[in-house]
A and B are shown apart, each in its own frame.
Chain A
Amino acid sequence: MVQAKNVRQLSYIQAVNEALRLEMERDPSVIIMGEDIAGGGEREEFQDAWGGPMRMTKGLVGDFGRNRVRDTPIAEAGFIGAGVGAAATGLRPVVDLMYVGFFGVCGDQILNNAAKIHYMFGGKVNVPLTIMTGIGAGTNSAAQHSETVYSVFTHYPGLKVVVPSNPYNVKGLYAAAIRDDDPVIICNNRQLMGLRFDVDVPENDYIVPIGKADIPIEGSDITLVGMSYTTRICIDAARDLEARGYSAEVVDLLSLSPMDEEAILESVKKTRKIVIVDEDYPRCSIAADVAALVAEQAFDYLDAPPKRLNPPHTSVPYSQPLEALFVPNKDQVVEAALEALE
C-alpha cells in the first residue's frame, strides 16, 4: 500500500501515551495509577523504570511526577476501588488493569461500585473513572492473560465500554473517556500493539466520540462488523472479498456501550447480509447481541441469517497451533461471508 503524504504514523502504544500526556497537561485532576505504571516505586535513581505493563505510560512520571503517576502494590481491588473514590471526589483517575482477566479480583469495585454508584445515589454522585485494560489472545499467554470479556462490562448498566482498533481512534477515545463523566473501560487488544497502521494521527488533542461506530470501508454487498482487533481482520477480509468481486462494508463498532445500533442497522439495510466478528467467548457475546438486534429490527431486509463468528466456547489455549484456532481469522470471515453471499 502506498503511504499517503503528510501521514503522521504512530504505533498504538505511542498513540495511547500521547493521549495520556495531552490529557494530563490540559487537566490537573487527571492521575494515573497501576502496577509498574512508572516502575521502580519511589527510588530516585530508578525513575520511569518500567512505564506500564505495555509501556503505554513511559515517560509520564518524569513530566507529571509521582503524585499523579502512581505505582501501586499488586492490589487491584484496592487501587481500582481507590480510583472510584478519587473519581467521586474531584479527580479523573485512569487506572490500569493489566490484563482484563484480572477483573476477577476486583470485579466488586468495577461492577458493584463504579457501575452502580451514580444510579444508586440518585444521580447525585459522578464517577469519572477510566479503566484501561489489556485484552486479546494471540500472544502465547494462555487462558488467564488472553481474554477479551468486554461483553461482561457491556452487560452492566452504568459502565461505558470502548474497543479502539487503531492508533487514530485509540488516541481520540482515550481523550473522550478521560473527559467523560461516567466510568469508561478502554479495552486495548495486545495484537494491535505490534501492528503497523497507515493512519494519520494528528499531533493535537482530539476526541473520537464514545458511542459512534466508524465505517473504514464502505460497501454494498455485505456488512462485516468488527471490534478492536477483529476490525483489522474484517478489513483484510473485505480486501479479499473485493478481489473476488464482492463489495463488503466494514463497521468498526469502537464502542460497545453505548453501541451505535443505528450504524449497524443502516449498513445491514443496505447490504442485506451481515457477519459479526468477535473475539470474545460466544455465549452472551457482542456478536450474539448484534445478531439479535439485526434479527429483531432489520429482519425484513435480510437475505441471509445473521452470522456470528466467535471463538469456540473454550478457554484460550497456550499451545500456538491451538491458539491460532481460537481467534477468528480472515479466512473464516471470508468463508462466512461467501456462505451468505452465494
Chain B
Amino acid sequence: MIKVPLSWLKEYVDITWTPQQLAAGLTLRGIEVEAIIQVGAEWDKVVVGEVISVEKHPNADKLVVVQGTDGQQQYQIVTGAWNLKPGDKFPMALPGARLIDGHKLMDEKIAGKRTGDLLSGDVPYFTVKGGKLRGLESQTVAVAALELGVSEEFEGIVVLDPNAPVGAPLQQVLGDTILDIDISPNLGRVLSMVGMAREVAAMTGVPYRLPQIQIHEDGSPVSEKIKVEIEAPDLCSRFSMMVIEGVKIGPSPEWMQRRLRAADQPVINNIVDITNYVMLEVGQPLHAYDYDHIHGREIVVRRAQPGEKMETIDHVDRTLNPDILLVADAERGVCIAGVMGGADSEIKDTTVNVALEGANWNPFNIRATARGMFDKVSEAAKRFERTVDVELTTLGVRRAIQLMQQYAGGKVAKGMIDNYPTPKAHHVIEFPLSEIPRLLGIEVPTNEVIAMLHTLEFEIAHVRPDGSYQFGETDNETIIMVREEQGHSNGDVIMVRVPTYRNDVTIPADLVEEVARMYGYDKIPETMLRGALPPQSTNYAILIDEKVRDILTGAGLDEIITYPLVALDDLKKLHKAVSEDSSTAPHHLHWSDPDALLKLANPLSTEHEYMRPTLLASILNTLSENRRFVERVAIFEIGHVYLKKEGQPLPEERRTLDLALTGPRLPLSRYNPNLKEAERFDFFDIKGVIEELLVRLGIPASQISYEPLPTGESPMLHPGRAAGVYIQRAGQKQRLGVLGEAHPVVVEAFDLPAERVAIAEIDLQAVPALIEREQYQTVTRLPVSSQDLAVVVDEDTPAGRVQALIRETGGKLLTDVTLFDLYRGKPIAEGKKSLAYRLTFQPQDKTLTEDEVTKLREKIEKRLTREVGAEFRG
C-alpha cells in the first residue's frame, strides 16, 4: 500500500535501527510491514568505477573512449555517453553483468511499440561482454540509469558520489532498502515519508525533521491571478492555491525519478512528478492546473450539475451528477475534486503557467466518487478517503512550489490563496487515567503515560484549582484533575489535546491504545476471565448437527461442505424431468424459478449467483465431481437453505440435511472382488440410513412413516422409487423430507454415470421440536417366544400396512416384528406376494403359554384377512 525507501525516509529521521528491527517494531505498533525489499540486489557484477581518462574515438565523432578502473584492473570502454570526466565515479559493469537493454527499449520507443513509462511491464535484458566498436576494443560498459532500472535516463552515465569507494558493489552506493507497508483505514497519517518518520521517531526515540522551504515570491500578488470560491464547504474544508509562471516542462531530476519509482509512482514530467513527490513526502495530495486553461481566472468548488459532462485526463467523457464535487472555472469543471483532473487543464509539454491546488476534501464523498468511477483507487483518493490533516494544505503547496521553482524555473506569484471557511479546532479528550488498567489490565505510572503521550505529540493541559484548563506555556505545573465520577474509582483525569493529523484519536479508548502501543503489546500479561459465568444452556441445533455427523459417519458417509451460492442452471437440472406443459404446480418447483429465489446484485459469476433453496444440486455436483475419481460415494451435508419471506427483509434460513449414495455398497476388497457386479446403493440403503438416523435423533419410531409422494411433487426423484418422510404427532402430520432415487434424467443432467443415485433431503430445522424424551421399558428375564408368519397379499398392498396391522393387533406382548423375507413366484399366485415376518412376544410378568401365543397369532391372522384379504402359508 505504501513503499518507503529508507534512503528517502532518512532525510526526515535518523535511522538507528536495522531494517528488520524497524519492520518488526512498526508491525507490532499496527503498521504492518509486509516485506523488506532490497533494491539493487540484482546488480551483480556492477561496481563503482573511476574514470582515468576520456578521449575522442579516432574513427567516430559521437563516441568516446573511457579508461576506467575498479581499483584492480583497467578497462577500456567505448561509449556514446559524453558526460564522464577524469576522476568521476560511475557504475561500471564487469563482463558477465546482466543489465536492462536500453538500446532496445529506445528502439522500441522510437518505433512506437512502447509508450508511457519505459520501465513498466516486461523489459528486455542483455549480458555484458567485450567487443569492438568502430575498430576499438570495448572491454565492458559504463552503465546508464535506464540500464539499472532506476530511471529513464539513458543519454548519460550516472555519476556517483565522489566519496563512493572504487571497486565496491554498486548496491552499496546506489542500492536501497524499501519497506512495503500495508496501511489499514485508520492510518492515513503514515501515508507519507514525514508521517512514517514521525512514527519511527516516536518508536526509536529520536527527533524527526520537516522539509525546509524557501521560495522566492518574485511575481505579482496571487490575488490578482486567481480567485477561489467554495460553494460546498461541507465537502471542501480548505482550498489553498499558489501560481507559478514561466515554467519549463521537462523531465524531473534523476534523484526524484528514482524515488518515485522506488515508491511505485509513474514518472511523467517535472511539474506532475513534483506534485506526486510532495504527496508522498508530506502526505498532501496536490493538483497542478495549466493556469492558461482556467477560464475566467476563477475557481469555484461546487457540486456538479445533473448530467454535466467533463473529459478527464484518462480521456474518458464522464457524465456527472450532484453527488460529485467539482473544481470548476468560470465555465466548466476542470477537476473531479480529489479524484481525477480534467483533460483540458492538465499539464502539457506546452504549459507555461501553473496553478497549484492543495485542498482538503470530505473523505466520504471522495470514497463514494472514486469507487463509483474507478476500479483502482488513485493515490490521492486513497489518502483523502482516510482523511488528510487539514493543516497540511499550505505546507504541501509551498513545498511543491519550491521544488517547481527549483527544477522548472519560473516566477512565483506573491502569497497564497488559502480559503479555509471554518478552521478546525483541536480535539480535546478528557482522559480518566483509570481507563488504562480497566481496559488493558496493566498499571502504567502516570509520569510514563504523560511521557508516552508527549512523544506522540499529544499535549496535556495544565489545570487550575477551579477546574479550568489551558494548553501551552503556563506557570501552573498541575496537570491532573480529580473528578469523582461514577465508574472511575480513581478520579485522576488529564485533558489531552490531539494533534491535527491524528483524526483516528477521538475517545479515551483511543488514547488507551496509544499507551498500549508505546508500552508494547508484547508486554501485555496473560490473565484469565474472573467474573461469574453467564447462565449455561444447550444449543439444540448444534447438538443435533453433531449427532447427525456422528450417526452418519458411523453409517459410512463422508461429510462435505459446499457453497450456498449456486447457479440457476444447476437448480434447473433438478427439474429436467418436468415436462414443459405440466399444468400442475407441484411443490419444489419454485427451486428453478428465479423470481422465487434470492439473487445477488453483484455476483462474481453466474456459477455462484443464487442462494440455494435446496442442497440437492450441490450434493449432486459433488457426487459427480468425485465419481470421476472414485467408484463409491456416500456423502452428506448440513447447511442452510434460503427461502424468501414475503414482507421481510431477510429470508428464512432453514437448517437442512442432504444425503447421497451411489456406486457399489461396499468398497473393493477381497470380500467384494468384482465392483462392476457388486450390489449398488439404492432406495433401501438411503431409507435404512434415514430410518436409523431419525430414531437415533430421538423421534419416536411410532410417529415416523414413509409414504409414496403425490404425483409430480418431487420431480427430481424417480417416480416409482421415492418417498416422503412424515411425522404424525398430536393429530398433525408433517413432512420432514423426501428420499428416493434421483430421476434418470436428473442423473444424466448432473453428468453422473447411468446408475442408481440415492438421495434424501431432510428439514433439520424441524427436528428439535420433534424429539421426545427416551422412556425406560422394563427388561424382564422371562423367556421370549417367537413365531414366523408368512402373509400372502395382493402385490399392491403396501408392506407397511401389513406390518402396522400386525403391530396394532399384537399389542403390548408383541415386542418386535421383523420382515425377513419377501417372495414372489410359485407356489404363490400371480399378482400376489408373500411377506414373512418373525414375531417376538415378550411377556412382562409371567411366562406365556403355548395357548396364549396361538390365540394372539390367530387374532392377527383374522385381522389381516379381514383388512387386506391376507392368506397364510405353512
Partners in one complex: no
